[in-house]
Structure 1
Amino acid sequence: MLTHPTFDQLNQLGLFGMAKAFGETEASAEAATLTHPEWLALLLDRELAYRHDKKLAARLRLAKLRQNALVEDVDYRAARGLDRPLFQKLVAGAWLDAHDNLVISGPTGVGKSWLACALGHKACRDNRSVLYQRVPKLFGELALARGDGRYVRISRALGRIDLLILDDWGLEPLDGQARHDLLEILEERYGRRSTIVTSQLPVEQWHAVIGDPTYADAILDRLVHNAHRLNLTGDSLRKTRIKTAEKT
């Protein structure tokens, strides 16, 4: 264990990245070859990297992404109709700066949630706050929160997240309270934050899921008119992979 005074002082100051770099470099043969400016530059680089990694880890914990997906791992060869130029444009992130939305639709198993989580992970890496929510579970949690006094706090938190991912939209029709909650969330976010929605249903069928025509028009106006769309097709990738594994 290194007991050098500088090492102890760096830890006391909370400069843990610098302290670790100092300890590792001091114990290596490289130390004697470094000038004072090079020492300082090395320690500062490690401190910045340490703080970046710590903040990223915190953002990912907050995001609660359902899948450990990375945009670098997207399989563009899969037969699902993924618009590669559009997806790569989404990866760049300008749509988040513009507070646009994204709708990912297609049959079950084509990777809608995976792609949404991959974009969420990239947004975390780009220093944005992200939150993943399955729509059925979210409405249940909001109903409980209304009863125990947490509703206002949760609603405000949903409004402040840079990128909100609403997964599995449209699995069942909305009741009156769910319609109201969804409209309030989207109203708070409209023009200020971005939202990703994944659904097995095409947008043309969303009116029926929402139920009330007035609410449907208001919700879709705030969600769809400024949304990019990834319309996926094809068979379930999970089934395809199982069949491929069985043949090998």
Structure 2
Amino acid sequence: MLTHPTIDQLRALRLDGMAEAFVELQSQDAARDLAPAEWLALLLDREAAHRGTQRFKSRLRNAKLRHGQASIEDVDYRAARRLDKALFQQLAAGRWIAEHRNLLITGPCGVGKSWLSCALAQRACRDGYTVHYA
């Protein structure tokens, strides 16, 4: 079986995740023992994951965050900013966004207000929220 036309056709149909998974499965000896339905399931899973990743990257790019690398997992609660861990984790859950509420972060200069805001925005992008400019 010629794999190049299949890969080219998958790419032409914009199924890049499937094309990458197809190439990987072709090179693995263990994949030869899989049933066609299992192959298809793996290809579909990879395509769905690829599309989800692309949507996240697009949302993050459109958000134009000052601190694009900020994430809630990297928040240091020991820093001298008097950040309430429970409150911040509640904010990170994003319920305030679903309820269409605003968030105002205040504090002295240099404590990381912008970074915390970007971390919350990055989490919102991961959760599927998009930026809407009024």
TM over 0.5: yes
2:18 — aligned with what? 18
Which runs of 5 or more structure 2 residues have no equivalent in the other structure? none
Tell me what 2:86 maps to: 85
AA aligned opposite 1:66: R
Q: Residue by residue, what CA displacement relative to the aligned partner does 1:94-150 show, whole Å, maximum 9, x if unpaired?
A: 1110001111101111110000000000111111113xxxxxxxxxxxxxxxxxxxx
Q: Tell me how far apart the structure 2 counterparts of residues 17 and 158 of structure 1 sit (CA, whole Å).
A: 31
Uncovered stretches (5+) of structure 1, i.e. residues with no partner: 131-156, 160-248
1:109 aligns with 2:110: yes
| Paired residue secondary structure (2:104) | strand
TM-score, normalization by structure 1: 0.51
- 2:77 is matched by which residue type in structure 1? Y
1 or 2, which has the higher strand percentage?
Answer: 1
CA RMSD of aligned residues (A): 1.4
2:37 equivalent in structure 1: 37
Give me the whole-angstrom Cα distance separating, in 1, the residues matched to 2:102 and 2:126: 19
Distance 1:32 1:91 in 2: 43
- Give the AA of the match of 1:110: V
Opposite residue 70 of structure 1, the aligned amino acid is S
Higher CA-based Rg: 1
- TM-score, with normalisation over the residues of structure 2? 0.91
Give the paired residue count: 132
Runs of 4+ in structure 1 deviating by more than 3 angstroms, as ranges, are 2-5
Q: How many angstroms apart in 2 are the aligned matches of 1:77 and 1:29?
A: 49
Q: Residue 75 of structure 1 aligns with which residue? A: 76
> Counterparts in 2 of 1:118-157, with a 5 A limit?
118-130=119-131
Q: Give 1:58's aligned amino acid.
A: S
- Percent same amino acid among aligned pairs? 58
